[in-house]
Amino acid sequence: MDSEELIKLMNKIEEKEIGWDTVEKEIKVSHAVLKLYSNSGPVPVTIINNLKKVLEKKEETPSE
Label each residue of 1-59 as H, E or C: CCHHHHHHHHHHHHHCCCCHHHHHHHHCCCHHHHHHHHHHCCCCHHHHHHHHHHHHHHH
**Domain ranges for the chain:** 3-56
CA 52/CA 64 separation, integer angstroms:
21
Q: pTM of the prediction?
A: 0.86
Under 8 Å between Cβ of 3 and 41: yes
Report the pLDDT value the prediction gives residue 2, as an integer from 0 to 100.
Answer: 84
State pLDDT tens for residues 14-41. 999 999 999 999 999 999 999 999 998 7
